[in-house]
Amino acid sequence: MKILVCVKSVPDPTTTFLINAAGAGYEESGVVFGVNEYDWYAMEEAVRIKERVKETEITALIVGPLRAEAALRKAMTLGADRGLRIDDTDQPASDALAVASLIAAWAGDRNFDLILAGVMSQDLQRGQTGPMLAQLLGLPCATMVVAVKWAEDRRSLICERELEGGLRERIALPLPALLTVQSGLNTPRYASLTNVLRVKQLSIPSIPASSLGPVKKCEDLLRAFLPEQSAACEFLEGDLDRIAEKLVAKVRQRVPVW
Amino acid sequence: MVGGSGGEILVVAEHHAGQVKPVSLELAAFGRALAQATGKTATGVILAYPARPLAESFAQASGLPVLALENENLSCYNAEAHLQALAGLARERKPALILIAHTATGWDFAPRLAAALGASCCTGITGFKIGDPIRFLRGICGGKIMTEVAPIADTVAVVTMMPGAAKPKAPAGAGSVEIIHAEVNTAGTRTLGYQEAPPRSLDLAKAEVIVAAGRGIGGPEHLGLIRELAACFDRGAVGASRPVCDAGWLPLEHQVGMTGQTVAPRLYLACGISGAIQHCMGMSRAELIVAINTDPGAAIFNVAHLGIVQDLHRFLPALIAKLRERKQKKL
């Protein structure tokens, strides 16, 4: 079985963001990047399949500049066999269709049985790349997957998607297929030392985005700005005791629950 | 590619268990406001089988003229059937915009619809700004940054609206209904059914005060503080953000947000919660929101009324002591 896991390198969510010089995104210098949280669940699920299905090979892929390789390697330490980076330095794949079309161009004739991706990226939170990739490759797709098991015929997957209010939808997808996975699908393992050392020694090939055809676009990011601290939010300051006192008084005034 | 020069906005409704979802009426209000501001017309779309009862219900509640796409395969949501039917309709009517709710369903098919049509795609937007081009607002990086995005010129735009971005409006009168037979086949994905959430022993909706724990509490060993604070109130309960339930620190029934419970207590104390939009959707109607977080840039402060930038492990004991002191004075 051939599995492709799509990974994204994202800023640490606790970053204090600054707007970049172009005014159309966040300033990347000084920001610590890591693996998109949802991609850990995708990688873990791939490794679990590999443990059950003989001759499974896991390829991990990332689209991004050289700095993205670190996140790819980190994700691979769960147990991916090989990695690949599509280098978009020369023509940045700024939106989801750009990324999806690059991956589709590369993966098109490589016959993956299963493609796994996180439900969305923690930074841009669009949730578009996975489903768009499925559409471009003509694959069935399930998003927001919180449970996966094999159907009896072993040629399709039974997935549970999480809907609003905890309702779950059960669907069967024939392979090949693409799943985007939600947190809670599994508990990602800690990487074994063997895998950490193995991945460290692997070379990660990169191929230029320009070799995969023109980069497409599906939206223009015109402006980014820091939201004004909600005028409604009043910050309470002072020492702990003083803040607690202020808080109790203010709450009593507005909603007398104590 | 479908040219997006037309003057129509298609508003795609959702339904479950024979009912139009409430979010579809928010979407209709959003679509109507957008149509009014841009000189376009808004048309409702519903995919169902049988289609008439749901189409009439949507036309009546939204006031929009409704096109109902009918086919046996559309009796419940199936991504492929939805895609085929909607792509067919879009190719025929060449709308300027297709509006979809950013729900687990809308989010599932919207990006695929856009890719199938060669359309633009803007997901999870919370508002719009009139201009040329029209701009949609979207929060990124956990709400720490706001962005304005625009569809690519001369394409149809597939846009998903965050639930809560518009308030439903009572229409002047019911819209008309047109039933269209849709050609769809579903060779690939099969919908097997739905599984209701397990019954809850905890009904957060009844709580007057919710003390909610986020990832920022650090670990399950710190839940004692949260419980202690909740116990300071006669009708206090413990809530949680998604990461806390995913990690198994608290059972799922405590989860507040899009995929958890929607609550509107008198007081919501968010402890170590970053304020992801999915969480805020579940608690923004609380009467008073107090946020405690060490990160002054956390998005939770954008929805909170009172903010405290402190380590909750130090602040909560001080608060609990203060509350107990008061209680004793009262006795």
Average pLDDT, chain B: 92
Q: From the list A140, A173, A243, which residue is nearest B310 (CB)?
A: A243
Using 50, 70 and 90 to split pLDDT, how confident is the model at B187? confident
pTM confidence score: 0.91
* Rounded Cα–Cα distance for residues A33 and A180 (Å): 21
- Contacts with B107 from chain A: Cβ below 8 Å: 127, 143-144
Is B2's pLDDT higher than 50? Answer: no
Alpha helices in A117-224 (DSSP H): 129-137, 193-201
Range of lowest pLDDT (B75-84, B180-189, B220-229): B180-189
Task: Encode pLDDT of B105-127 as tens digits.
Answer: 999 999 999 999 999 999 999 99
Indicate the SS3 state at residue A96: helix
Is B130's pLDDT higher than 70? Answer: yes
| Per-residue model confidence (pLDDT) at position A110 | 97
Task: Encode pLDDT of A144-158 as tens digits.
Answer: 999 999 998 889 999
| Per-residue model confidence (pLDDT) at position A152 | 87
ipTM value of the model? 0.93
* Of B145, B144, B181, B159, residue with least CA distance to B69: B181
CB pairs under 8 A between A and B: 263
Distance of CA B264 to the CA centre of its chain: 16
> What Å distances lie between residue B255 and A47, B205, B209, B237, B247, CA to CA?
28, 12, 15, 12, 12
For residue B327, report the phi and psi dihedrals to the nearest 5 degrees: -60, -40
B139 contacts chain A (CB < 8 A):
yes
Task: Encode pLDDT of B262-277 as tens digits.
Answer: 899 999 999 999 998 8
Is B3's pLDDT higher than 60? Answer: no
Counting beta carbons within 10 angstroms of the beta carbon of residue B112, is it exposed (0 to 12), middle (13 to 18) or buried (19 or more)?
Answer: buried
Bigger pLDDT: A101 or B259? A101
Is A231's pLDDT higher than 70? Answer: no
Range of lowest pLDDT (A71-80, A223-232, B288-297): A223-232
> What Å distances lie between residue A22 and A1, A32, A97, B47, B143, CA to CA?
44, 20, 21, 42, 20
Q: Hey, are the CB atoms on B308 and A250 less than 8 Å from each other? A: no
Cβ neighbours of residue A33 under 8 Å, at least 6 residues apart?
A: A9, A10, A11, A12, A67, A68, A70, A71
Indicate the SS3 state at residue A257: coil
Using 50, 70 and 90 to split pLDDT, how confident is the model at B331? low
* Of B112, B87, B107, B110, residue with least CA distance to A104: B112
Is B98's pLDDT higher than 50? Answer: yes
* Of A123, A187, A102, residue with least CA distance to B143: A123
- Contacts with A158 from chain B: Cβ below 8 Å: 192
Residue of B nearest to A184 (CA): B246
